[in-house]
């Protein structure tokens, strides 16, 4: 068998056929040229994804044993409002933190609420604004918030006492569709007006400032959260506790 090289990527392939006739072997060589065409590769720009930074604050939360809620329920949406200025304080108090953490059992119960919501309407999902809030952050919020103490305590618990957010046993959230469009609750997250108070809903409904749709959306959120063992507080439609403060003290340590 022989082979010849032809320029411009032209190769000759020789096929050897052995034919046996009357105990004699003859060789038949068939030459079939194969042309290999040049391939042009275009340089494609791959977008760079910024690395997620785990800073000291988040590492403290992880070391305390809390879990990222999306590691338990990946379809829950998050919007970490205190890592931005889109909150009632108009301050970024979390820095790089862009995940929501809760105590493992609380995160699992939140997952139960998510499943219950999906069983009612598969197009809806929980959207979480805040979970654990280290006491050092709570102290900062307490110090910079300029309002009388009797008003301040309605929105930020005195860090000396420790709040359920400090334990990772409370969550702030709403309901959204799959695209992240939130249901209208008649008052936004962190709205400090009394129209956001669940205890005043009937009065605002009677006045026409809250609609039946607003109330129905709030009641849906309360129903869904109750399925996971959470309950609402009287002054914030978005805030839900999983345990009482006394119970949390026996189960968890405050995240400092």
DSSP state letter for 130 = E
Report field, pTM of the whole predicted structure over 0.85: no
Domain range list for the chain: 56-251
Measure Cα distances from 8 to 3, 34, 35, 176, 249 in Å.
Answer: 16, 11, 8, 62, 80
Provide the residue-wise pLDDT of the chain in tens; the chain has 256 residues. Answer: 444 443 444 333 333 344 444 444 444 444 555 554 555 556 666 666 667 888 899 999 999 999 999 999 999 999 999 999 999 889 999 999 999 999 999 999 999 999 999 999 999 999 999 999 999 999 999 998 888 888 788 778 889 989 999 999 999 999 999 888 999 999 999 998 999 999 999 999 999 999 999 999 999 999 999 999 999 999 999 999 999 999 999 999 999 9
What is the C-alpha end-to-end distance of the chain, expressed in Å?
81
For 137-181, what is each residue's pLDDT tens digit?
999 999 988 888 887 887 788 899 899 999 999 999 999 998 889
By the 10 Å C-beta count (0-12 exposed, 13-18 middle, 19+ buried), 38 is classed as exposed
d(CA 115, CA 111): 6
d(CA 127, CA 181): 10
d(CA 220, CA 175): 9
- CB 239 within 8 Å of CB 172: yes
Greatest Cα pair distance, the chain, in angstroms, is 116
Secondary structure of 208-246 as H, E, C letters: CCCCHHHHHHHHHHHHHHHCCCCEEECCEEEEEECCCHH
CA dihedral 54, 55, 60, 65 (to 10 degrees): -10
Structure tokens at 29: 């060589």
Class at the top of the CATH hierarchy for domain 56-251: alpha beta
- Residues whose CB falls within 8 Å of the CB of residue 29, separated by 6 or more in sequence, listed in order: 1, 2, 14, 15, 16
CA dihedral 17, 23, 26, 27 (to 10 degrees): 30
Q: Which of 57, 68, 9 is nearest to 36 (CA)?
A: 9
For 57-77, what is each residue's pLDDT tens digit?
999 999 999 999 999 999 999
């Amino acid at each position: 068998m022989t082979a010849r090289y032809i320029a411009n990527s032209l190769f000759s392939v020789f096929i050897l056929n052995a034919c046996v006739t009357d105990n004699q072997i003859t060789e038949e060589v068939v030459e079939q040229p194969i042309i290999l065409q040049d391939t042009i590769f275009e340089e494609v720009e791959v977008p760079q994804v910024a690395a997620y930074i785990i800073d000291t604050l988040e590492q403290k939360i992880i070391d305390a044993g809390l879990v990222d809620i999306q590691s338990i329920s990946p379809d829950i949406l998050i919007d970490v409002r205190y890592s931005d200025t889109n909150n009632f304080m108009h301050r970024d108090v979390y820095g790089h933190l862009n995940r929501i953490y809760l105590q493992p059992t609380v995160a699992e119960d939140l997952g139960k609420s998510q499943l219950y919501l999906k069983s009612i309407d598969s197009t809806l999902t929980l959207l979480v604004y805040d979970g654990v809030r280290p006491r050092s952050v709570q102290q900062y919020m307490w110090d910079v918030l300029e309002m009388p103490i009797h008003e301040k305590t309605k929105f930020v618990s005195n860090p000396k006492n420790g709040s359920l957010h400090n334990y990772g046993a409370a969550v702030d959230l709403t309901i959204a569709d799959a695209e992240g469009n939130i249901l209208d609750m008649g008052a936004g997250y962190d709205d400090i007006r009394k129209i956001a108070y669940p205890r005043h809903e009937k009065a605002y409904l009677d006045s026409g400032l809250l609609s039946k749709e607003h109330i129905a959306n709030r009641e849906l959120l309360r129903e869904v959260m109750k399925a996971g063992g959470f309950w609402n507080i009287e002054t914030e439609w978005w805030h839900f506790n999983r345990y009482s403060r006394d119970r949390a003290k026996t189960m968890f340590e405050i995240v400092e």
